Each structure stands twice: as C-alpha cells, then as structure tokens.
Amino acid sequence: MAMLGKEVRMSRLVNPKSKKMMAITVDHAISRGIAPMTGLHQIQDTIDKIIVGRPDAMTMTKGIAEHCMWKHAGDVAMLMKVSNYSPVAPTKDTVFGTVDEAIRMGADAVSMGAMTLGDFQGEQFETIGKFSEECMRKGMPLIGHVYPKGESVPMDKRTSWENIAYCVRSACELGMDIVKTTYTGDPDSMAKVVACVPSTFRIVIQGGDSCKTLDDYLQMTREAMDCGVGGVTMGRFVWDYKDVTALVIALRYIIHEGYSVKEAKELLAQLENDKNYEEF
Ligand SMILES: O=C(CO)COP(=O)(O)O
C-alpha cells in the first residue's frame, strides 16, 4: 500500500507526456535572509503569479503553505520543505518539519537539504536516512536539495562534475527519490553526472546560482533537458523576473514541449506583451 502511495504522488509531480518535472520553489528566505529575496517579500502575490503559469509543483515550507495555499488547493502539487540552512550557518540544514505534517497538509513530497563535503555532512546524512525510511513506510516521495557547499569545497569547485556527481549519488544511496542540485555548466559534464545514478533516479536542477542572463538561463534549461536531467526546481531567477507568469510558461514549454531557446524567447515576448497566459 505504501509503495502505491509513493507512485501516486510521484505521478503528480511529473508531466505524463514529457516525463519531466517542473517545480518552482519559494523556500529561500530562511536560508538566505529575507531582505535580499525581494521577489519573495510579497509572498502571496508571487505564489499566485507562479501558479497562473501552471508548473507541476511548488516547493515551500509548512507555514507559507498554511497561509498562502488555501485558494490554490489541488491546483499544483506541493513539495513540503522540512529543513533549511541559515544565512549565518550555510553549511548545515536544520530540520523543522515532519513527514506526518506534510501528509496532513496534502503534500505530494517531502523535501530536505544537505550540504556535502563539509563538517556537517555526517549528521545531515543521518537525518536523511531516517526520513527516507519513514517516507518509504508512509508512501511519501523524498526530494533532496543537495549541494557540494561544505567547508572543504572551494568556490570554484561547487559545480565540478565530480562534486555534483557525489551529491547526486549520495542522495540516491541515502534512499531519496529525486535530487535537486546545480547544473555543471555544460551538457557533456552533466551527462557524466546523470550516468552515475540508476536511470530510475531523477535529477532536477536549480537555477539561481549558475545564470546571469535570461539567455543563459533558458539555454541551461534546454541543455539540461537534452542530456538526461529529469526536470527543474527553480526559484530566484523566476520570481525575480519582471513577468513571473510569462517566464514560468516559457520554461514549461522548454521542459515539456521541447521548445528551443529561440522559440521560448518568442513565446516569452508575446506573453509579456499580451498577458494572454490562459491560452498556454
Ligand atoms: O536554492 C534553491 C532553493 O531551494 C533553488 O532555486 P534557485 O537556485 O533557482 O533559486
């Protein structure tokens, strides 16, 4: 029974045609500080704009879900983030939520973070191991936000394929179902990462750390989808964009409809102009 529950929930996260997952995340404020996350200040408004663009799922903490998701109940899969790091302790995630809460709130997955290759890897992995056992028992998918940002990793090695592969493989070994991590920067090295886990294990990418321009962002998304990455869980670039809904739709067309960067940019320009979001 529990295994069926997991399958049912996983199916809500993934587009049946493309088999990719498109999630937008709004969980950053606790980790990174509220002041710099200007796109999240008006949190209800930002969530509303994202949902008009119809992503498959949204990642958030329980408190924001309780306040902001009543009017969207059932419109989008909810991924319940149960841990976060802090602006003054960025190498350690602390757990503040439970699997039972996520189930009670109608979530389709539990999501938790870990920073590898640092002083706190051991305790974070220990926690993940316990959650993966409980999630399996209760039919709940477990998603990791796993990055090589521990104390031993220099800044210029945070996207090396070896370190990203280590994160991805660790998440798989700890019993997670999906891992969200950073794109390595090019499709050949990302394909090496993808090859380091069984094909049934889903890798999705974040966006905010790696891209400066819209072109880079769309290009990264296209390349990632083409080299075996199973989707995205994107945040900052999306909700910092001037037309949040239009960008969610343009990304959805890259991820699910196979759009090229050029086609996505044309669609984005059209949407920004006519605001005719419902048609897409
Ligand atoms: O780091 C993240 C928070 O979970 C993910 O998203 P971005 O990098 O796209 O902002």
Q: Please give the number of the atom of ligand 1 that sits closest to the Cα of 113.
A: 4
pLDDT in tens, the chain (280 residues): 558 999 999 999 999 999 999 999 999 999 999 999 999 999 999 999 999 999 999 999 999 999 999 999 999 999 999 999 999 999 999 999 999 999 999 999 999 999 999 999 999 999 999 999 999 999 999 999 999 999 999 999 999 999 999 999 999 999 999 999 999 999 999 999 999 999 999 999 998 766 789 999 999 999 999 999 999 999 999 999 999 999 999 999 999 999 999 999 999 999 999 999 999 9
180 is catalytic: yes
Q: Which of 147, 183, 217, 259 is catalytic?
A: 147
Residue ID of nearest Cα to ligand 1 atom 3: 28
Catalytic annotation present for 27: yes
Which protein residue has the closest C-alpha to ligand 1 atom 1? 206
207 C-beta closer than 6 A to ligand 1: yes
CA of 105 from ligand 1 middle (Å) equals: 23
> Strand locations in the chain, DSSP E?
21-25, 57-60, 77-81, 83-86, 89-95, 109-115, 142-147, 178-181, 202-205, 231-234
Closest Cα partner for 56 from 248, 267, 263? 248
**Marked catalytic residue, from 20, 49, 149, 180:** 180
Say if ligand 1 is within 6 A of residue 206 CB: yes
Neighbours of 173 (CB within 10 A): 14
In sequence order, the 6+-apart residues with CB closer than 8 A to the CB of 82 are: 61, 62, 95, 96, 97, 98, 99, 101, 102, 110, 111, 112, 131
Q: Is 209 in the pocket of ligand 1 (CB under 6 A)?
A: yes
Q: Give me the pLDDT at residue 209, please.
A: 63
Distance between CA atoms of 270 and 142, rounded to whole angstroms? 37
End-to-end CA distance of the chain: 36
- Separation of CA 134 and ligand 1 centre (Å): 25
Of ligand 1's listed atoms, the one at least distance from the Cα of 182 is: 8
Return the residue matching tokens 């109608």.
106
Nearest ligand 1 atom to the CA of 59 is 4
pTM of the model: 0.96
- Indicate the top mutation candidate among 145, 180, 182, 206 to test ligand 1's pocket, ranked by most ligand atoms within 8 A of CB: 206
Candidate from 158, 209, 210, 211 with most ligand 1 atoms within 8 A of CB, to mutate? 209
Ligand 1 neighbourhood includes 27 CB (under 6 angstroms): yes
Which pLDDT does position 2 carry in this prediction? 55
Q: What pLDDT is attached to residue 177?
A: 98
For the question of residue 241 being annotated catalytic, the response is no
Q: Is 83 touching ligand 1 by the criterion CB < 6 Å?
A: no
